[in-house]
Homo-oligomer: A and B are copies of this chain.
Amino acid sequence: MADNWIFDVLADLRRFALANDLQALAAQVQATVQVAEQELAARADGKPAPRTGQGGRAFPH
């Protein structure tokens, strides 16, 4: 999956925050980048990604 746009968007947001002296926002965005990295990496390691568009059931019975 092409998830790079997530990091592009977050990098843009962080640049904006730093350029405008929004320190708390910059830090929060940085934390968000790390969460995204971890969660996407964990998913890439196994756990198949639930796909939406076919009923969207995460737990089919």
Q: How far is the CB of A55 from chain B (nearest CB, A)?
A: 13
Chain B residues whose CB sits within 8 angstroms of the CB of A25 once the complex forms:
32, 35-36, 39-40
The number of residues on chain A lying at the interface, defined by a beta carbon within 8 Å of a beta carbon of chain B, is 27
- The answer to whether residues A13 and B9 also contact, given A28-B35, A32-B28, A35-B28 and a CB cut-off of 8 A, is yes
What number of copies of this chain does the assembly contain? 2
Q: By DSSP majority rule, is chain A's interface helix, strand, loop, or mixed?
A: helix
Complex Cα gap A12–B57 (Å): 21
Closest B residue to A38 using CB positions: B24
Decide: B58 and A43 in contact? CB cutoff 8 A: no
Confirm or deny: A4 has a beta carbon within 8 angstroms of a beta carbon on chain B.
Answer: no
Assembled-state Cα–Cα distance A8/B38 (Å) = 24
